[in-house]
Amino acid sequence: MDPLAPLRRTKHAAFVARKRTGRGYRRAKFATATRLFRNTGRHPWTYRPERYADTFLRHDHADGEASQLPERVFALWTGTNPLTPARARNLRRLRDEIEVPVELVTPDNVADWVLPDHLLHPAFGQLSLIHRSDYLRGYLMHHHGGGYSDIKAPVGSWRSAFAAMATEPEVWVTSFRTTDANWIGKYPGRMGRDILIRYPMMFGKSSFLMRSHTPLTAEWMDEMHRRMDAASPLLAACSAAGIYGEGADYPFGWTDLLGRVLDPLTLKYHAHVRHDDRLLLDFTDYR
């Protein structure tokens, strides 16, 4: 019998208890924030660059290409495995119900959408499958534009949302409104507090419409590339990226290429974001 086994069990139990306590605290914190700040999205908000001078928001970029909003929606499946039955069913529903063409981008056809002068980042293949999806939705929205949807069931047609956005060139993003403070990209410090307090200004990342070649999409791509450049040695040495970044040495957190980039950019470009709950998805039974 291992004489250290009781000690190890005690240590593990303490570790589990701390994790549960931490999760409970975070759930309570964001539930409280959801109630407290529910109406802050209705209040005027002025972006002040000097407030975020020590963050990536200080970088401005507009590439000068013509911005477009083609009536087309991308969905992504970045693994080589077949769609699960639930995903296949939801893809059929997307194609049948949103009344807009849906392009499923997979490893077999992604090259069809990659521009010769704008190749994917060299570390793309070392990302987890989830982060490949995050990266590709940014790439597709910046260079091609249109819509994006997770492979989840829609709640109705997207045609009217496209039509409404087409009449407002100053609108760069349309998506459903964030209704839970826990959905945001989380940061410490001033920027994190501002995003938390103004979480109703943020937009859903699971389904949206975006014009191509806007400062928002350009800066989304720029920041993803900066983060991937910095993490490239760690990605190359990572033991397991997997689907979700399972390896203990995987360098990216869950929202590092999506919410933690787009929510700060929403603070910066909130005047160009519109909310439309016709783009909501069904978040139950989708895997």
> Per-residue pLDDT tens for 96-119?
999 999 999 999 999 999 999 999
Pair 253, 113 in one domain: yes
What is the model's pLDDT at position 253? 96
Higher pLDDT, 279 or 23: 279
Pair 26, 151 in one domain: no
Stretch 57-72: mean pLDDT, rounded? 95
What is the model's pLDDT at position 133? 98
Pair 22, 60 in one domain: no
What are the tokens at 55?
């963050």
Q: Is residue 47 in some structural domain?
A: yes
Q: Is residue 130 in some structural domain?
A: yes
CATH number at residue 122: 3.90.550
Pair 91, 31 in one domain: no
Structural domain count, the chain: 2
What is the model's pLDDT at position 20? 55
What is the model's pLDDT at position 86? 96
Residue 227 identity? R
Stretch 204-224: mean pLDDT, rounded? 98
Pair 5, 123 in one domain: no
Provide the b/e sequence for 208-229 (b: ≥16 CB within 10 Å).
bbbbbbbbbbbbbbbbbeebbe
Q: Is residue 143 in some structural domain?
A: yes
Pair 18, 46 in one domain: no
Stretch 237-260: mean pLDDT, rounded? 93
Q: Is residue 275 in some structural domain?
A: yes
What span, in angstroms and rounded, lies between the C-alpha atoms of 256 and 185?
Answer: 8
What span, in angstroms and rounded, lies between the C-alpha atoms of 198 and 219?
Answer: 21
- How many alpha carbons lie under 13 Å from residue 148 in its C-beta half-sphere? 27
Pair 99, 22 in one domain: no
Asked if pLDDT for residue 260 goes beyond 60, the answer is yes
- CA 96, 100, 104 angle in degrees (round to 5)? 75
Stretch 226-242: mean pLDDT, rounded? 95
Pair 128, 187 in one domain: yes
pLDDT above 70 covers a percentage of the chain that reads 92
Stretch 176-203: mean pLDDT, rounded? 94
Q: Is residue 249 in some structural domain?
A: yes
What span, in angstroms and rounded, lies between the C-alpha atoms of 117 and 240?
Answer: 30
Residue 247 pLDDT level (bands cut at 50, 70, 90): confident
Q: What is the mean pLDDT of the chain?
A: 91
Q: Is residue 154 in some structural domain?
A: yes
What is the model's pLDDT at position 7? 39
Per the CB < 8 A criterion, the answer to whether 193 and 32 are in contact is no
Q: Is residue 287 in some structural domain?
A: no
Pair 119, 229 in one domain: yes
DSSP string, the chain: --TTHHHHHHHHHHHHHHHHHHHHHHHHHHHHHHHHTTTGGGS-----GGGGTTSGGG------PPP---S-EEEE--SSSPPPHHHHHHHHHHHHHS-S-EEEE-TTTGGGG-BTTBPPPTTGGGS-HHHHHHHHHHHHHHHT-EEEE-SSEESS--HHHHHHHHT-TT--EEEEEP--GGGSPP-SHHHHHHHHHTGGGSEEEEEEEE-SS-HHHHHHHHHHHHHHHHHHHHHHH-S--TTTT-STT----TTTTTHHHHHHHHHHTGGGEEE-GGG-EE-SS--
Range of the structural domain that residue 29 is part of:
1-36
Q: Is residue 255 in some structural domain?
A: yes
Asked if pLDDT for residue 14 goes beyond 70, the answer is no
Pair 171, 30 in one domain: no
- How do residues 29-46 score in pLDDT, each as one tens digit? 889 989 989 988 778 899
Beta strands 73-76 and 146-149 are parallel
Pair 17, 131 in one domain: no
Pair 105, 7 in one domain: no
- How do residues 142-176 score in pLDDT, each as one tens digit? 999 999 999 999 999 999 999 999 999 999 999 99
